[in-house]
Structure 1
């Protein structure tokens, strides 16, 4: 079995693959202060609860945008699974042609999402990842990663309203169902949720126009949404074709297959 880690700024998503199929996944809080042993005990408890055996893990792959957690998970991999983890980064085979000015600046999660989406949906593609940041990635039908856009995520916006104002409360991130709201909490929810939908809708519209110009076939790009808040925002936007919340884990499994026999 393969254990895959998708480490974001807010959450770590873990997935277990058997014979290439995702058989279980979990989400936990990203904590820079946790040791390899603490993470190891949590993983052991999750496995036990689902009736899985950690001794069946034969390999580990990690995608992270939080460098401080990487060493911890690498140490965990060696101590608990006796395997040197594959880490998404320079030198890893992905099948993508990175057109970024500096390819090393592209987040590991964005690369992994692109690999998975191309495999599942074909190109051209726009991938929107609703995480701590909301990211937009443009990929051609020739597997060229052209670039994209990075915007503050809805949770960052919510936290900023609470922290930078004297009277506004912290609110649950959910749709109030209307934009003419008669209390403060619903007014904030409306601004956060529908405001984010409007931003996403506009950026996708502009990105579709630019990406179509790069397509030799003139195909209209498909738009795939992923990430923890994909359902909340994506369900209210007509321009999103599919919501695929496990896209990153599936991309990690695909990249593992490309690299498992080529460790340095």
Structure 2
């Protein structure tokens, strides 16, 4: 099976994917560029066993990362503990099979390219892909599968952290859907929740509307990332939710790159 590794700025996801690109197991750990291959191996070995698998079940590894400092230890993990040379998304071992039709193709993050590859495989036509991660990204993919560019906005947790850090009297609150649709808060906490949640809904709907108007053709909106389902409760901006889009992109890339 394939071990797909998605190294993001906040979390690092390992997923075990079979030959039909079905995810058999997935595990998440906080991203730490200082974590060694040996530390990854101890943690991952125990989790594999809990799911009924072993290291011998992994026949290939593919890594997609937006954290360059984390790459070396992940490569060592693949070579030392799984005895395979890992494919690196976007490199000669696993090149992107879509056009990056932007002014600076080399600056496109691996996650955004992988999301575009997976989204085009899932849904035909023009697409907007929204990924709720450390940053919230809006990516535009045309009907041919080419990545055309997009938008980068602060992630909701990043925005909330900055607000709490800069205002001494504001408490830390959890991100959740408000109990009702009122936008007049009666407490400090409810006012913060309204501002962050409904403010984000307004941003999503506003930016999607502007993107659709600029594209000028029918567009399907796909959302991914852990918070997609949270916002889906109170907006019609998304046509479908795909929680594992980046992993799906890695699996597609590996399938095409392997003999």
Same fold (TM over 0.5): yes
State whether residues 129 and 135 of structure 1, in contact with CA within 8 Å, keep that contact through their aligned partners in structure 2: yes
**Deviation by residue 1:21-66 (Cα, 9 ceiling, x = unmatched):** 2111122211222111111111111111111112110000011111
**Deviation by residue 1:54-87 (Cα, 9 ceiling, x = unmatched):** 2110000011111111111111111110111111
Q: What residue in structure 2 maps to residue 203 of structure 1?
A: 207
Quote the offset at 1:225 in angstroms. Answer: 0.2
User: What is the distance in 1 between the residues matched to 2:3 and 2:107?
Assistant: 25
State whether residues 220 and 239 of structure 2, in contact with CA within 8 Å, keep that contact through their aligned partners in structure 1: yes
Q: What residue in structure 2 maps to residue 76 of structure 1?
A: 77
Bigger Cα displacement from structure 2, 120-129 vs 31-40? 31-40
Q: What residue in structure 1 maps to residue 235 of structure 2?
A: 237
Quote the offset at 1:89 in angstroms. Answer: 2.1
SS at match of 1:72: helix
How many residues are matched? Answer: 255
State whether residues 93 and 258 of structure 1, in contact with CA within 8 Å, keep that contact through their aligned partners in structure 2: no
Q: What residue in structure 2 maps to residue 179 of structure 1?
A: 183
Q: What residue in structure 1 maps to residue 222 of structure 2?
A: 224
User: What is the distance in 1 between the residues matched to 2:155 and 2:232?
Assistant: 13
Q: What residue in structure 1 maps to residue 147 of structure 2?
A: 145
**Unaligned 5+ residue runs, structure 2?**
none
SS at match of 2:243: coil
Q: What residue in structure 2 maps to residue 18 of structure 1?
A: 18
User: What is the distance in 1 between the residues matched to 2:189 and 2:205?
Assistant: 24
**Unaligned 5+ residue runs, structure 1?**
213-217
State whether residues 14 and 27 of structure 1, in contact with CA within 8 Å, keep that contact through their aligned partners in structure 2: yes
Q: CA RMSD, aligned part only?
A: 1.2
Q: What residue in structure 1 maps to residue 157 of structure 2?
A: 155
User: What is the distance in 2 between the residues matched to 1:24 and 1:202?
Assistant: 36
Quote the offset at 1:186 in angstroms. Answer: 1.8
State whether residues 94 and 258 of structure 1, in contact with CA within 8 Å, keep that contact through their aligned partners in structure 2: no
State whether residues 109 and 248 of structure 1, in contact with CA within 8 Å, keep that contact through their aligned partners in structure 2: yes
SS at match of 1:98: coil
For residue 192 of structure 2, the aligned residue among 188, 191, 195 is 188
Q: What residue in structure 1 maps to residue 42 of structure 2?
A: 41
Quote the offset at 1:90 in angstroms. Answer: 4.1
| TM-score scaled by length of structure 2 | 0.95
User: What is the distance in 1 between the residues matched to 2:44 and 2:125?
Assistant: 36
